[in-house]
Amino acid sequence: MALKGLDIFKLLPKTNCKKCGNPTCMAFAMKVAQGGITIDKCPDISAEALAQLSEASAPPMKALTIGAGDKVYKLGGETVLFRHDKTFVSKSLYAVTVCQDCVDEKLPKIKAVDYERIGERMIVDLINVEFSGDKAKFLDTVKKAQGAARTLILEVSDADAAKAALDLVKAEKPILNGANESNWEAFNKIATEAGVVLGVTGKDLDVIYDTVQKLEGAGNKNLVIDVGSVSIKDAFANAVQIRRAALKDQDRSFGYPSIVNLSKLAKGDDVLQTALASVFTLKYGSIIILSNMSYAQALPLYGLRQNIYTDPQKPMKMEPKIYPVNGADENSICAITVDFALSYFVINGELERSGVPVNLIVSDAGGYSVLTSWAAGKFSAGTISKFFKESGVEGKVKSRNLLIPGKVAVLKGELEENLPGWKILVGPNEAVGVVKYLKDFKG
């Protein structure tokens, strides 16, 4: 943030009128500085001070929305370069590119990737439609892509084709990616009239910067920056420098989300494409365009994205319930763990490896790890037995063997009192030990 609380305070009326809902002008100024409240909540601020402060206290990176209906996506709005400083807010979106010759083959594959991971539906978010010189065929491809129920990116630098394509799909708020130093005026008009986000590119950062400034001068701040495809090295350097200029050096002309087109950079090498997609998910790719998306690529990439865009203050949580592992039925042994997603994944992986059918019971423990939630009283004999009653565990499983993590062996006695009829088994301290434990276990 550019402004300190004190700088803002100096421009306020200093009447402590409380009309903004804060006890004093100083308190209000501090909140504005932290981004907790906007400056226009002060009813008595002078127009001059407001203009001065709005400019300086504007977020360093634009937050945009694309798409319509249930396919609306948020882009940008980031405030930090490293997730530990606060959190990343708009996850990278993955797109697959189609052209007139490959659209029929690719669309079914795009739709095939569709699964759920920790409460999030994972699909190819966007489809990038490439223009290859023939307007009629391009429009035909756009129509086909439109049928796939995804938000589109129109990658076209021909004004005539761009306009005709937008006439077809502008209601769905696609991105028009095609402005450059020579056509920006025409593209500005087309994008503004259609009310869509405009993608800008150029051969290097100076050209891009210059074109963005011209578009801003013409009143368009609804932009994304295509980092270009000169080389992998350049694309990475551009993506980092654009984001860093905006967030660290307060250069708002680069305060826009980015597009990285890996279908051009990876040159058909799918494994290299996976490597690049991973790097750009960490380092500042708002939209990542791939030549295809198989499950093999999707599983690690969507998992990585889900990790990186987790709020560091809010751990990822699993829904508390019974998860049958290895085809467990009501007679299979039960094991209990906490709802912290990481704990769940670690133990679930080991249970799967054992091959033994187990009902893994995920208890509501506030999203903390086993020891942390135990120490905080959220994973105790009391909370576990309460959870058993509330979620009706005893009606869902017939087995009365319950395996608890070795680190909370101390719960055994109390659990046996609270859960009459259950045999409490103390598992190993580390998840990895459970494979051997289960293999040796005789009901």
Partner 1 sequence: MSFKRVPQKFPATIKEVIIGAGDKTVTLGGENVLPFYSFDDKIKNPPRVGVEVSDLGPNRDLPELGKFYAGAEKIADVAKKACTIPGADFISLVLESADPNGANKSIEDCVALCKEVAAAVTLPLVIQGSKNTEKDGQLFVKIADALQGKNVLFMSAKEDNHKGIAVGAVQAYGQKIAAESAVDINLAKQLNVLITQLGIKHESIAMNVGTAAAGYGFEYVVSTMDRIKLAALTQNDDKLQMPIITPVGEQTWAVGESFKSEEEAPAGWGPRESRGIAMEVATASAALAAGSNAVILRHPASVAAVSKLIAALV
Chain positions contacting partner 1, by CB under 8 A: 82-84, 112-113, 115, 117, 205-206, 208-210, 213, 231-233, 236-237, 240-241, 244-245, 248-249, 251, 254, 269, 271-272, 274-279, 281-283, 294-297, 299-304, 306-308, 310, 312, 341-342, 345-346, 348-349, 352-353, 436
| Beta carbon of residue 339, minimum distance to partner 1 (angstroms, whole number) | 14
Task: Reduce the DSSP state of residue 79 to 3 states and report it.
Answer: coil
Query: Nearest distance from residue 402's CB to partner 1, in Å?
Result: 24
Least separation in angstroms between residue 81's CB and partner 1 is 9
Shortest separation between residue 83's beta carbon and partner 1, angstroms: 6
State in angstroms the smallest separation of the CB of 82 from partner 1: 5
Q: Which two tokens stand for residue 155?
A: 């990658």
Beta strand segments in 276-419, E: 287-290, 322-325, 333-338, 358-363, 401-404
The string of DSSP codes covering 131-147 is: P-S-HHHHHHHHHHHHT
- 84 or 442: whose CB is closer to partner 1? 84
Other CB atoms closer than 10 Å to residue 305's CB: what's the count? 23
Q: From the CB of 283, what's the least distance to partner 1, in Å?
A: 6
CB 325 within 8 A of CB 351: yes
d(CA 371, CA 188): 56
Q: Centre a 10 Å sphere on the Cβ of residue 54 and count the other Cβ atoms it contains.
A: 12
Q: Which is nearer to partner 1, 1 or 299 (CB)?
A: 299
CB of 149 to partner 1, least distance (A): 18
For residues 368 and 344, what is the distance between their CA atoms, to the nearest angstrom?
11
**CB of residue 281 vs partner 1: minimum separation in angstroms?**
7
Q: Could you give the C-alpha distances from 261 to 234, 273, 411, in angstroms and in order?
A: 12, 10, 53
Q: Which is nearer to partner 1, 72 or 271 (CB)?
A: 271
Amino acid at 411: L
What is the spatial distance between Cα 415 and Cα 418, in angstroms, rounded to a whole number?
A: 5
Local structure of residue 339 (DSSP, 8 states): S
Q: Which residues pair with 176 in a beta bridge?
A: 154, 198
DSSP H or E stretch at residue 30: helix 25-33
Residue pair 293/263 in contact by the 8 Å Cβ criterion: no
With respect to partner 1, which residue has the nearer C-beta, 141 or 286? 286
Nearer to partner 1 (CB atom), residue 159 or residue 304: 304
Which is nearer to partner 1, 254 or 374 (by Cβ)?
Answer: 254
The residue (of 82 and 133) whose beta carbon lies closer to partner 1 is: 82
Structure tokens that stand for 118 in this block: 């920790």
Helix, strand and coil in the chain, % to nearest 5: 45, 20, 35
The smaller minimum CB distance to partner 1, of residues 305 and 378, is found at 305
For residues 66 and 259, the answer to whether their CB atoms sit within 8 Å is no
CB of residue 365 to partner 1, shortest distance in Å: 16
Cβ closer to partner 1: 31 or 91?
A: 91
